[in-house]
Amino acid sequence: MAAMMPAIRAPRHAGAPAALPSPVPPTMPQSSSASSDQPIELRDWVREHPDFPKPGILFRCMTPMLRDPRGWQEMVRQLGEACDRLQPDVIVGIESRGFIVGTALATARELPFVPVRKPGKLPGSVHGIDYTLEYGSDRLEIHNDGFEDCPRVLVVDDLLATGGTAAATAELVSTVCGQLCGFAFVMELAELGGRARLPDGVPVESLIIYA
């Protein structure tokens, strides 16, 4: 997902040019172990692209983290600690990078994973919700089954920006009898105030916060 300057919504899909140099500095530890003498800084795997995809947008790309096992393993480890604090029964991931992050976390903690998708992407019986964005509206859908016992649900995505999609996902989870126990994000753009749109009293865990 893109990261952006305030008041400008970033696109959810983007990649980093392969020809650019590695974002990992030479001093980065050679082991993914959290006990290394030199701590691993997740920001080292986030690359910034000014004025992309248009002037005025600062695009923050986590593709370098995806392709380096050290950064990826550290991200999963830190999200795992948040997961242990919140004690969910199910991980719900938001399309599309929430699938990548969420399935990695669910696998690491041996938990079920449930995707929240754009309309028309899920077969069978689904619940859906329409919600408002900065410049229009959108819709999300989730399968009806898998929530029969009212499980505790952790919503996971790569980025918290304005919070509209995460808030809609929280509402969608409640329609299928899930008990929302928290949100977990890799990155958060605090200046956009996304936390204010999320349900009151629900914990929010962000690994990297850009003030």
Of residues 81, 134, 171, 191, which has the active-site annotation? 134
| H or E element, residue 19 | none
The one catalytic residue among 47, 60, 70, 97:
97
Residues 188, 104, 97, 18, Cα dihedral to 10°: 100
- Under 8 Å between Cβ of 119 and 95: no
Structure tokens at 118: 């754009």
Residues contacting residue 103 through CB under 8 Å, at least 6 positions apart: 91, 93, 113
Residue found under tokens 């899920």? 122
Which residue, chain included where needed, has tokens 């790569």?
158
Is residue 139 flagged as an active site residue? no
Q: Any catalytic annotation for residue 67?
A: no
Q: Judge whether 187 and 126 are in contact, CB under 8 Å.
A: no
Longest dimension (CA), the chain: 51
Question: Which residues are identified as catalytic?
Answer: 97, 134
